[in-house]
Amino acid sequence: MPNGRWRASWNREVTRIRLSDGVMEDLDRIAAWLRYHEVENAETRADEIVSALDILAANPLIGRPVHQDKRELVIGRGSRGYLALYRYAAIADTVVVLAIRAQREGGYARDE
């Protein structure tokens, strides 16, 4: 039987993930671009982006640090690569996803 230290880590609560208001607009923009360029399964690809954010529930500091107290999660690569800009509030154990963009885009649609 594992010792108490291991049991405690198994029972750890997961970090909450919230999407800021503009993230849905970002996903709509990405899906529209994919549809315009006749990429198969555009909505499925947008769903895959959202699913990739689940890693933040277990590892909120996995993203690379960027300016101020923000981080970026790299999702996929190449033509299927995206970046999620987020902030982790340790005191509330909450990740707030601020924006999502394609890696090939020149910046985020909004200043976050």
Q: What is the pLDDT of residues 93-112, one digit of tens each?
A: 999 999 999 888 777 766 55
Domain positions in the chain are: 17-102
Report d(CA 76, CA 44) in Å as an integer: 14
The reported pLDDT for the residue numbered 103 is 84
| CATH for 17-102, options being 3.10.20.30, 3.90.950.10, 3.40.50.740, 3.30.2310.20 | 3.30.2310.20
21 and 98 in contact (C-beta within 8 Å)?
Answer: no
The reported pLDDT for the residue numbered 11 is 52
* Tens digits of residue pLDDT in 26-62: 988 888 888 888 777 777 777 888 889 999 999 999 9
pLDDT for 78 beyond 80: no
The reported pLDDT for the residue numbered 67 is 86
User: Considering the chain, what is the average pLDDT of its residues?
Assistant: 83
Cβ count near 49 (within 10 Å): 20
The reported pLDDT for the residue numbered 7 is 47
